[in-house]
Amino acid sequence: MSGRMRARDLGIEIGSLMPGRWNAITDVPGVRVGYTTLIEGDGPLVVGQGPVRTGVTTIIPRDGVYDNPVFAGYHQLNGNGEMTGIAWIEEAGLLTSPIAITNTHSVGVVRDAMIEWDRDNYDGPGIMPWRLPVATETSDHFLNDMNGLHVKPRHVFAAIEQAASGPIAEGNVGGGTGMICHEFKGGTGSSSRVLNAADGGWTVGVLVQANYGHRRHLRIDGVPVGQEITVDQVPSPRGRTAPSQPTPGDGSIVVIIATDAPLLPIQCRRLAQRASLGIARVGGNGDNGSGDLFLAFSTGNDHLEPDTDKTPVQVQMVPNNAISVLFEAVADATEEAILNALCMAETMTGSTGRTVHALPLDRLRAVMAKYGRPLR
């Protein structure tokens, strides 16, 4: 499929804050993103052979994060999912590793591979100390041979080593390769917002792995797109089951939020909570079968864990009476990141010939025009 476009390029502009240069999480200085995308085979499902429609996404908060950790906070809208390393983040408020996102059954190998990669690249004194990396997931079982465990350590190594700043790919890439969103093809999406100078000039970036939601709930910038693009026009992976039927699963969404605003861990947690608002605007309800897991981190403080010096560390924080605009930025960027995942993902056929159709941009234009919202 050709002609896929990001939401803003179509003329969908969420909120009043402006995006950064790349309108991506990589607009936050120092943040890098890498992917390994695995698309192999067609036809009937043979566990261990394929078809394969999966991958891994890595987010590097900043260079040397193991030795120069960042403050972070976690929020769980609904807990039918997994994110490793959260116990220490909630205890100490520190993120001490890159973040990796993959499919549900590959969390373990991805987590272990992150330790292996750092062990083999460790250049500090003695042997590498303990690691508690963050690996998280959504399920791609509808399109992918998820039980085949096709994500291997080498794929994690490649995603870490290829991580870069600048514009990033979206849609059917990395951990988002086989994902479904509001019964259209979903996957990876990103967006950012830059605060006005009077509000600090900070940047907020969001990356989502979107794999959740019902067609009938989908709203794009307030327009009930999901009610207008029916299964008669674009087939649903749910087929013609009753609206309440949870097949092929209620799905999940992972949201990673980065900012260079100097925040304390509890403030990072407050930012993470606001991802819920962006998801709700698009039509997510945090269903029982959904793993809606959000992690926010701040690069605004340095040298939080000195090796030997026990002198109190000096930190900065945005005062709470100035934090609401950061909440706004998170909600808007989360909403737009989901829309970017939908608009950039392409139709995909995977396991046993199952097909998930992309959101048709021509129909989207027609629906938005019907509601007085013409697009480009």
Q: Which residues are catalytic?
A: 252, 290, 292
Torsion sign (Cα): 110, 266, 63, 256: positive
CA angle 223, 196, 368 (to 5 degrees): 15
Whole-number Å distance between alpha carbons of 145 and 7: 30
Q: What is the DSSP letter of 278?
A: H
Q: Which two tokens stand for residue 300?
A: 């605004």
Amino acid at 363: R
- Contact in structure between 265 and 93 (CB atoms under 8 Å): yes
Buried b (16+ CB within 10 A) or exposed e, 214-229: bbebbbbbebebbebb
Q: Which two tokens stand for residue 292?
A: 């809606």
- List the one residue out of 287, 223, 302 whose CA is nearest residue 80: 287
CB neighbours of residue 312 within 10 Å: 6
β-strands 134-138, 99-103: how paired?
parallel
Whole-number Å distance between alpha carbons of 346 and 270: 34
CB neighbours of residue 90 within 10 Å: 13
Q: Which two tokens stand for residue 38?
A: 């695995």
- Residue 302's contacts (CB-CB under 8 Å, 6 or more residues apart) are 68
- Residue 74's contacts (CB-CB under 8 Å, 6 or more residues apart) are 83, 86, 89, 90, 269, 272, 293, 294, 295, 296
- Residue 336's contacts (CB-CB under 8 Å, 6 or more residues apart) are 7, 8, 12, 14, 15, 19, 23, 189, 191, 278
Whole-number Å distance between alpha carbons of 247 and 142: 10
